[in-house]
């Protein structure tokens, strides 16, 4: 299982490039880790690697954000922290995103595990003091 160590802020960019290089055909990524582990920070770095130029932010309240890339599929950023059960996510139409040609980046996937396609790349961010370890 590949892993990457985050020691400083610049490492998020390197880790995002490492993840995308190792999973070039992946369309769905799930991100787990404790609150404050860096899930949104990592997703922002991934979006920059994928050519998103607009501002990216946590969709904690909106639940789903869409980011555009010039001439390419969209990036869908989901944050299911506030979801109480999978039916809520289903009612939001999240499965349409998961089965589209868009790249989906999903925070708090454990809240909707049964809705996530089996081919998703699972990314775990572990906190080790001030450092982070990313495994996928």
**pLDDT for res 2:** 85
**pLDDT for res 120:** 96
Q: pTM value?
A: 0.92
Q: Dihedral, CA atoms, 49, 39, 58, 26, nearest 10 degrees? A: 50
The CATH number corresponding to 3-135 among 3.20.20.480, 2.60.40.420, 3.40.50.300, 1.25.50.10 equals 3.40.50.300
Q: pLDDT tens, 95-132?
A: 899 999 999 999 999 999 999 999 999 999 999 998 99
Asked whether the beta carbons of 18 and 132 are under 8 A apart, the reply is no
The domains of the chain are located at: 3-135
| 3-state percent helix, strand, coil for the chain, nearest multiple of 5 | 30, 25, 45
Given a cut of 80, whether residue 61 has pLDDT beyond it is no
Question: Residue 41, SS3?
Answer: helix
Joined together, the tokens standing for residue 91 give 């009612």
Q: pLDDT tens, 76-90?
A: 999 999 999 999 998
């Amino acid at each position: 299982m590949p892993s990457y160590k985050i020691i400083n802020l610049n490492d998020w960019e390197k880790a995002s490039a490492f993840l995308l290089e190792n999973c070039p055909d992946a369309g769905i990524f799930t991100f787990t880790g404790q609150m404050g582990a860096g899930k949104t920070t990592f997703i922002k770095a991934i979006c920059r690697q994928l050519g998103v130029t607009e501002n990216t932010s946590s969709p904690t309240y909106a639940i789903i954000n869409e980011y555009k890339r010039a001439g390419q599929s969209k990036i869908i950023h989901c944050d299911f922290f506030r979801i109480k059960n999978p039916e809520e996510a289903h009612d939001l139409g999240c499965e349409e995103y998961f089965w589209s040609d868009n790249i989906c980046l999903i925070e708090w996937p454990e809240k909707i595990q049964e809705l996530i396609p089996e081919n998703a790349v699972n990314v775990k961010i572990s906190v080790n003091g001030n450092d982070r370890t990313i495994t996928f």
